[in-house]
Amino acid sequence: MDNGRGDMMSGDRVWFVTGTSSGFGRELARAVVARGGRVVATARDVEAIADLAALAPDRVRAVRLDVTDEASVRSAVAGAEETFGRIDVLVNNAAFGLLGAFEELTDEELRGAFETNLFGALAVTRAVLPGMRHRRAGRIVQMSSVNGVVPGPGGTAYVGTKFALEGISEALAAEVAHLGIRVMIVEPGPFRTDFGGRSLRWGEPMRDYATIIAPAREAFEATHGTQPGDPRRGAEAIIEAVGLDEPPLRLPLGAEAFGWLRSYLRSRVDQLDGVEALGADTAFR
């Protein structure tokens, strides 16, 4: 039974991290290695993470993983458990951004975003859970976004995947807590990663949405490379939270994220109060 700090604070713990070719995934892998932990670093292009394996060849395993391919998921998880004996911490980080007005996005693009950002994370979680359940210990870290709570125009696809991931993860947390497994949802604000660069895709622009989407796109792209968040420091915060006796269900990252979340959640309460007279009085009489 996982009794809190125990194995989770040990330098011997085993992390399985998806999407380690850049951003949070890469920084998490590097930080775990620096603390003496063991890492299964995964990416679709295993050559892109060869340098991570070189950091500590006896403690890092670079593995090819396509989270949308069930056979790839099963093989990567089985190989990790065979090599290191277990997976203590799973970090579902692999994802990409798809932005644009809803009508600008094709069904194929929408399904592709959900396949990677949502169903990919769920597939890896499903593959790792049996081992954690058997050991009655484990941490599952779901990399969401501040946009997993706060929506906005142009974000229908990305927001949809992260809202779904958050809802499923919160329900999962309640299902596995008695098994010694903790789920933590990470909600970063603007961080200096490839999300706004090579990992970002846009729908085909339509004239009727130009006044809404074009300015947002220009502002978003203009900030790429100057975001205030340092993914290295964000990774350190995640590792510290994972090691707590009771990790938080949600971990926003960055001062901006806390400000946006507070503002949005307060507006939701105000909206709730505003429609209560209309919607609450519906019982049989």
Please report the pLDDT score of residue 1 as a whole number.
38
Per-residue pLDDT reduced to its tens digit, 4-21? 443 444 568 999 999 999
Per-residue pLDDT reduced to its tens digit, 62-114? 999 999 999 999 999 999 999 999 999 999 999 999 999 999 999 999 999 99
In angstroms, the CA 253 to CA 256 distance is 8
In angstroms, the CA 9 to CA 195 distance is 30
Q: Is 158 a catalytic residue?
A: yes
- pTM for the complete prediction? 0.93
Please report the pLDDT score of residue 200 as a whole number.
82
Which of 21, 22, 72, 144 is the catalytic position?
A: 144
Residues 54-69, mean pLDDT to the nearest whole number = 97
Cβ–Cβ < 8 Å for 187, 146: yes
Q: Is 162 a catalytic residue?
A: yes
Q: Using the 8-state DSSP alphabet, how is residue 40 labeled?
A: E
CATH classification code of 5-268: 3.40.50.720
Q: DSSP per residue over 266-278, as a string? A: HHHHHHHHHHHHH
> What phi-psi label fits residue 254: left (phi over 0), alpha (psi between -120 and 50 degrees) or beta?
left
In angstroms, the CA 183 to CA 140 distance is 5
In angstroms, the CA 103 to CA 107 distance is 10
Residue 284 confidence (pLDDT) above 60: yes
Residue 252 confidence (pLDDT) above 50: yes
Which of 72, 145, 158, 169 is the catalytic position?
A: 158
pLDDT band at 57; cut points 50, 70, 90: very high
Q: Which residues pair with 201 in a beta bridge?
A: 98
Structure tokens at 89: 């911490």
Write down the mean pLDDT value for the chain.
93
